[in-house]
Amino acid sequence: MIPRRGLLALAGLASLPAHPARAQVAPRELRFPRDHGAHLEARIEWWYATGWLRDAQAATDTPAFGFQLTFFRSRTGLAEQLKSRFAARQLLFAHAALTDLAGQRLLHAERIARWNGDEGAARAAASQADTRVHIGDWRLQREGATYRAALGDEAAGFAYRLGLATTQPLLLQGQAGYSRKGPDPTQASHYISEPHLAVSGELRHGGQTRAVRGQAWLDHEWSDSLLPTGAVGWDWIGINLADGSALTAFQLRRADGSAVWAGGSHRSRGATTRAFGADEVRFEALAHWTSAATRARYPVRWRVQTPAGTFELRALLEAQELDGRASLGTVYWEGLSELRDVSGTRVGLGYLEMTGYVTPLRL
């Protein structure tokens, strides 16, 4: 594992200011397919695919695996400060994970690459025209109405080739894709989601290759400032509900667990979207799990109150902590979870993400 200081030196960032000059995110009309692509002027950006899988021939929709494939992009600001054609203008990172519910374990791997902004670069690149990002043989690419996710390296104990087909219109979070992340309007992101993606493809795991099906959620978000003053991290859920609706909820959290800001949305199957105000979402921790590796204490059962209803969220595996210190320099919890209504009935499946529990998150 490369320590974070070593990564910064490798990237040429160790002796430079932590935050390059930035432009403010402001409301604007998003245009597609262009806004599916990379936004190199933004300081941080990610494409985040999460979902669940089962054997293609299984008789029920009970998940056997959870999966995550995330590509991150970070603008370094080196080109402006060093005035050198050798300066790394961008960094690309990728995280991949597989939750094996039967084996009760999480497998994960990560990659990092310097990138000069050339979209034709063979080792690592991201297109500005549409979703098309890769590091080596890890890639995420949009082809018409389907995202192609490929993880060709089985060194982490798994690999897959998956198609994530859209079944619903694009979900623009917040105000037509402008999503507030704090009391200051500049603390915001452009944020789009693709819920209820129909997944099919091939998974290699445990010495077996199997055809799989499932359901996924994809987020694409870009920003210059996501954490308001006082926030150490966030808690977020993206849930595909069984009735065809989609629920997003998040809170930006202080060290004492209180919320600096909150938000989210609910979109019905009929495509009516209700954006949540900062005072309309509440997360209440009901049970915790402590990591043996980091000693971080994560809530793995939450009561989530929203204008769309009050729910209980339960992790399907408690040990879904991902150590990303060899690339992003942080540890976070990202895992397959179920949503239950007040009667205790499962009403949805999706992912819970929790950051800032080991050390305050720095983007």
Q: How confident is the model over 274-328, as pLDDT tens digits?
A: 999 999 999 999 999 999 999 999 999 999 999 999 999 999 999 999 998 888 8
12: left (phi over 0), alpha (psi -120 to 50) or beta: left
Q: How confident is the model at residue 3 (pLDDT cuts 50, 70, 90)?
A: very low
Secondary structure of residue 275 in the 3-state scheme: strand
User: Given a cut of 60, is residue 257 above it in pLDDT?
Assistant: yes
Q: Which CATH class is domain 4-9+32-355?
A: mainly beta
The pair of structure tokens assigned to 316 is 């399907």
pLDDT at 172 over 90: yes
pLDDT above 90 covers what percent of the chain? 79
pLDDT of residue 98 exceeding 90, the answer is: yes
**What pLDDT digit, counting tens, does each position of 18-48 carry?**
444 445 688 999 999 999 999 999 999 999 9
H/E element holding 223?
strand 208-225
φ, ψ dihedrals at 205, nearest 5°: -165, 135
330-340 vs 346-355, strand pairing mode: antiparallel
Q: Please determine, for residue 268, whether its predicted confidence score (pLDDT) is greater than 60.
A: yes
Contact 56, 65 (CB under 8 A): no
Give CA angle at 67 (62, 70), nearest 5°.
Answer: 150
Name the pLDDT band for 353 (thresholds 50, 70, 90).
very high
For residue 158, pLDDT beyond 80: yes
Q: Which residue reads 């996501």 in tokens? A: 226
**pLDDT at residue 31, as a whole number:** 98
Question: pLDDT (tens digit, 9 = 90+) per residue, 110-141?
Answer: 999 999 899 999 999 999 999 999 999 999 99
Peptide bond into 33 cis (omega under 30): yes
Tens digits of residue pLDDT in 203-253: 999 889 999 999 999 999 999 987 888 999 999 999 999 999 999 999 999
Is the model's pLDDT at 1 over the cut of 60? no
Continuous segment of H or E residues that includes residue 144: none
Q: What's the mean pLDDT in 191-203?
A: 98
The alpha carbon dihedral of 282, 287, 289, 294 has a sign of positive
In this prediction, residue 6 has a pLDDT band, given cuts at 50, 70 and 90, of: very low
State the average pLDDT over residues 150-165.
88
Residues forming a β-bridge with 150: 139, 161
The residue that leads in pLDDT, 312 or 329, is 312
Mean pLDDT, rounded, for 56-70: 94
pLDDT exceeds cutoff 70 at 50: yes
Q: Where are the domains of the chain?
A: 4-9+32-355
pLDDT tier at 186, thresholds 50, 70, 90: confident
Q: Where does the pLDDT of residue 340 fall: very low under 50, low under 70, confident under 90, or very high at 90 and above?
A: very high
Q: What is the pLDDT of residue 16?
A: 34
